[in-house]
Structure 1
């Protein structure tokens, strides 16, 4: 097992892409520490992606890309502006509400960050907003995608841990909304002390809200179709994702008419590229997960935890700190596939509900999306804002406060996560 983990860390820090680091480290461990034939590598690579639920990932990615290009994202921004644009720090509020709404469609944090940032950043700069805080808030809003359903990360967690995807989706709703509310309150406190630049001169208008709502209705049907269909037993997660692609095409082409069928091949190619990058990591991570399980990593780690503490409270504290560090350095899906098969049985042994533990894991890794050095949402927001990451990092602690508070509550107040899953899946 030392060869596997040591080789993986060495390769990662040497700059090798994570997909190759996983594969080479697993191959090294198989050759040096087992007698199994190398053909097992091909079998595990194929087995890692030979899963019907995993097909939801490319469909959700495709839906998110079409949403961003087809006018759905812009109408979400308009609706958010009409709903909260009159509050002090209005554009921060619009970014948070829009990020929350887009998270209920795409499941991709980086895509949502790019969509919100490209629309709102020019106006934030024009009004004289703190652009570094703006980028940090947009990144945090994009990082809601792994928590609020449909979430690609939740799909992977459910498949890896043999959990209900619907239960995982429902478990993320309350924590995700709590983070959105916390972000809004934190930004309001900052903006209230920032002077007149953060005060919108346009008052709240029911007429404006009504017009924006009517324009956004076609896009608002997507979360109802996806989550409602899964929870109601109409679709599996994969079928709901495929339906989301169909509906986004119909809305973008026939209702909003911002793209045509001739634009779809380029969007599909982009989705294929992004999906392939995710699924190849899944395939090589499955080899790595198999070899560390074969070498007894779960049993050794369980014995270590038991020697340290018998308290679930201390166990959760250690795991949260560990996952926060992992999220800073590793891509989320890779982290899940490597770490969760080891930690989930230990958590269950401590009496922790697996859905709660899965949502807590997703929360940790969503925080990793806005923390350097990995922080993909942070990098996207900085790039869209035309700022250096080092400049945006100086403000990222502000949105991290509510995210961390909700993480702590999720870990130690189980009903926050479990109320909805237990109501719909008793």
Structure 2
């Protein structure tokens, strides 16, 4: 009874467009009106306890590093490198969009930041080359979804923290699926460019000298994910310490190597980080309290029993979860989904014998798809507002990309080796 009331209150608050964190806090507080055995101060304790964690600092550190990277000149160097290696391909500027999302995903860890940055830089240039603005906007939004599963994706850290899963293994598991998504998008862009005759003329191939010059400029940035993953894998430092190293590395590049970061930019970057981090941390705090109530009422156990009674096949389990997450993603922000749903799914994974690392990659890809769909669609609204694209035009052009992402999610689900091959090699 009480859980039904809480969920109804939460749904009403969502529909009233109340900020997600406050909607969670209000709906969770309803629980204490029904249960006198707990003081209302328990809500505050659970919220504080939800963010009182050393591993959680990794999110703040990597977020800071990603913001700092935008002020170091790394983006322009990455863009130049992506332009060189994709020049001979049809639709080369669209290919740059895909490759740059993959490269920047290993630096920022934030798909919204990458989508916003590329909407400002690449979409206007693509329109000049003859691309439809809506298509360019959707491409930018869709390719930004590679970021959450490329280490050090913030979503990977959150899932690992909430589900008590090795963040180092999740970082390793995200590499190959991220590259597979990149390849699938590049193939689609190739055929789309051929069909609509976009940048299909013969172009001068890059020379070895041009390649190595652009690689040299981008190399220091490309080394960051290698340093992070290698250091965690070989036990040199934890995921949290890796985040601190990433911040130091970004400052070193911006202030010492490239010397493109001014004191004013450094201050702006830190202020931007505080705003972004605060919004995420309050959601984690509220979500932790909400998840505690669900666990107290044994909702995860009841859902596990219900699923086991009606679904016997792990394959069917993945299909049901995919459909469920696509619907949830339309209404609930991705970080909130991770905080609330991860504790619910963990007991089910044991029931079906599914690896938690494998499921984590699948889970993050599925909830990321919701950022492209109405009515919430954070990535959709971010890119549309920057490029001036109508939402209805975005939705029309997003259909093939949504199909690609759903196929990719099913591929990750049904071929565990895509996620587990690299972690197995380095275990």
Q: TM-score, normalised by structure 1?
A: 0.96
Matches within 5 A, 1:168-317: 168-195=170-197, 197-199=199-201, 201-317=203-319
Tell me the distance in 1 between the aligned counterparts of 2:316 and 2:223: 43
Bigger drift between 194-203 and 116-125 goes to 194-203
Whether the 8 Å CA contact 2:102–2:147 is kept in 1: the answer is yes
| SS in structure 1 of the partner of residue 147 of structure 2 | coil
Q: Distance in 2 between matches of 1:122 and 1:424?
A: 42
Which residue of 45, 49, 52 maps to 2:51?
49
Contact 1:174 / 1:416 at 8 angstroms: preserved in 2? yes
2:136 pairs, out of 130, 134, 137, with 134
Q: Is the 8 A contact 2:147 2:153 kept in 1?
A: yes
* Per-residue deviation, 1:99: 0.4
The offset of 1:143, in angstroms, is 1.3
State which drifts further: 276-285 or 229-238. 229-238
CA-CA distance at 1:33 after TM superposition: 4.1
Is this contact kept in 2: 1:109–1:142, CA < 8 A?
yes
> 1:256, CA displacement in angstroms?
2.0
**Cα distance in 2 for residues equivalent to 1:110 and 1:284:** 21
Structure 1 residues 6-405: aligned runs within 5 Å: 6-33=8-35, 35-195=37-197, 197-199=199-201, 201-405=203-407
* Structure-1 separation of matches of 2:154 and 2:405: 19
| Native 8 Å contact 1:4 1:292 kept in 2 | no
Is the aligned partner of 1:5 residue 2:7? yes
Deviates more, 1:346-355 or 1:183-192: 346-355
- Per-residue CA shift, 1:281-337, capped at 9, x if unaligned? 000111100001101101221122122222222221111110111122211111111
Picking from 414, 418, 425, the partner of 1:416 is 418
Counterpart CA distance in 2 for 1:424 and 1:4 is: 44
User: What's the TM-score once normalised by structure 2's chain length?
Assistant: 0.96
CA RMSD of aligned residues (A): 1.5
Work out whether residues 145 and 365 of structure 2, in 8 Å CA contact, stay in contact via their aligned partners in 1.
Answer: no
Moved over 6 A (4+): none
Q: May I ask how many residue pairs the two structures share in their alignment?
A: 425
Give 5+ residue unaligned stretches, structure 1: none
- Contact 2:301/2:347 (8 A) holds in 1: no
Give yes or no for contact 1:69–1:259 (8 Å, CA) kept in 2. Answer: yes
SS state at 2:227 partner: helix
Q: Secondary structure at the match of 1:35?
A: coil
CA apart distance, 1:402: 2.5
Cα separation, partners in 2 of 1:399 and 1:111, compared to 1, 3 Å:
same
Q: Secondary structure at the residue paired with 2:146?
A: coil
Contact 2:172 2:423 in 1 (8 A): yes
Say whether the 8 Å CA contact 1:87–1:199 is kept in structure 2: no
8 Å CA contact retained: 1:26, 1:287: yes
Distance apart, 1:388 and its partner CA: 2.0
- Residue 197 of structure 1 deviates from its aligned partner by 4.3
2: distance between equivalents of 1:55 and 1:323? 27
**How many Å separate the matches in 2 of 1:92 and 1:34?**
59
